[in-house]
Amino acid sequence: MNRKLVVASNNKHKISEIKDILSKLNIEVISLREANIDVDVEEDGITFMENACKKAQVIFDMLKGGAMVLADDSGIAVDALDGAPGVFSARFAGEHGNDKKNNEKLLKLMEGKQNRKAKFVCAMVLFINKNTVIKVQGEVHGVVAEELKGHEGFGYDPVFYIPQYGKTFGELSSTIKNTISHRAQALSKLEDAFKEYLQEE
């Protein structure tokens, strides 16, 4: 089995989290850039899982089976906004990946809202080979904070408050976040499924 895994992303924060969480497995984890792949797969699915599947499939086909491919799609879903931003999380304010504007828009829309419940969702798809595809999803529940707090993490982390810790993701250390986050939960499920696959191989 090929021990190289290409993460279908160039988000350095996401790559770092995935490398950290998967470090105990005997796998070489690299980004698209490190694999010399320059492609922007259009995320036009209506669910996180659809987008993750499409990204993984496109990159796997490009590599022609030369490596395993892991793709994820993640974002925040807010109850009071009927699940928005959802799959549009990265481009909520119009400009892809502008964390500052995305957070500002979310806080503005949440002004005066009593129900501030929200969840982070992470769908992951791993193409091991053309016949073996693993799909998992992780979620973590919290609330939308009244204001930005903390400088750790990325994306919506400074506005995602975890009551049991009394802090936002932006205030939590990466050690704690990488234990409880939606991505950590998805990767934990992925690890279990991957180990099961290795036992059957």
Is 73 among the catalytic positions? Answer: yes
SS3 content of the chain, % helix, strand, coil (to 5): 35, 25, 35
Which tens digits make up the pLDDT trace of 5-63?
Answer: 999 987 887 888 888 877 777 788 999 999 999 888 888 999 999 999 999 999 999 99
User: 3-state class of 85 per DSSP?
Assistant: strand
CATH of the structural domain 4-200, one choice from 3.40.190.80, 3.40.50.720, 3.90.950.10, 3.50.50.100: 3.90.950.10
Amino acid at 129: N
The mean pLDDT of the chain is 92
Per-residue pLDDT, averaged over 62-79, amounts to 94
Domain boundaries, the chain: 4-200
Phi, psi of 130 (to 5 degrees): -65, -20
* Cβ neighbours for 116, distance < 8 A, ≥ 6 positions apart: 78, 79, 80, 110, 143, 144, 145
Q: Give CA separation, 124 vs 56, 83, 103, 140, 183, in Å.
A: 9, 19, 24, 15, 8
Catalytic residue among 73, 79, 82, 99: 73
DSSP state of 172: S
Tokens of residue 186, six digits = 């998805």
Instruction: Look at residue 107 in the predicted model and tell me its pLDDT.
Output: 98
Q: What is the pTM of this model?
A: 0.90
Residue 1 pLDDT exceeds 70? no
125-158: per-residue pLDDT in tens? 999 998 999 999 999 999 999 999 999 889 999 9
